[in-house]
Amino acid sequence: MIKAVRDTLSGFKSLLIGMRITGREALKPVITCQYPHDTLPMPARFRGHIQLVLDPETGRPRCTACTLCAKACPSNCIDLDGLKREGDKKKSVSKYILDFTKCSLCGSCVEVCPSDAIDFSKQYNVVSLSRGDFDHMDLYAKVEAQAAEWAKTHPTPPAPPAEAPAAPAAAQPAAPAASTLPPTAPSPSPAA
């Protein structure tokens, strides 16, 4: 009988210890992120897949299609082409394909780019059921969609009106020179 009482008290003591631990843990703040409903912010140095960068002034991709990124890539996963459009001073990109299945996210392409046209994205949950979505990522199409959004928020300013040519200065008669000194008041006469 004493053994049964001792076992009961020992079990009750164990229950109280367990409840104390459970109560203490229940009052602590929750640190678990409930993914996919909540997401954590990505650190500034996070390396997602590469992306083309828009020029904030023009809304066009900064890429000049110099192909230095493709030459610097050790995995040979970048394929790009460019053309010179009418009215542009420089060549611009017309095709930029990334084979993300080969990319090692080394950053050589980002470092070598002279116009800072490539940057790492902050996308960390790039998923698909097909491998084809990753071996042919069309970055130019993505940046063109961003450029279309940019164009909606930044309307183009109207062209200035054409002015009539001014007449040459020699054809106008010269105006008489006016004195730039202010008129003087008469000076008081000396008292005698």
Omega cis (within 30) before 56: no
The enclosing domain of 67 has a CATH number of 3.30.70.3270
Q: pLDDT band for position 88 (50/70/90)? A: confident
pLDDT tops 80 at residue 31 = yes
pLDDT of 47-56, one tens digit each?
Answer: 889 999 988 8
The model's pTM is 0.60
At residue 57's C-alpha, the angle toward residues 56 and 59, to 5°, is 65
Total domain count, the chain: 2
191 falls within a domain: no
Contact 121, 51 (CB under 8 A): yes
The answer to the question of residue 44 being in a domain is no
pLDDT of residue 164: 53
Place of tokens 């054809």: 171
Q: Are residues 95 and 146 in the same domain?
A: yes
Strand partners, 52: 118
Question: CA-based angle 138:53:108, to the nearest 5?
Answer: 80
Grouping H, G, I as helix, E, B as strand and the rest as coil, residue 8 is: helix
Question: Residue 146 belongs to what domain range?
Answer: 50-153
Statement to judge: residues 83 and 6 lie in one domain: no
Residue pLDDT, tens place only, 175-185: 555 545 455 55
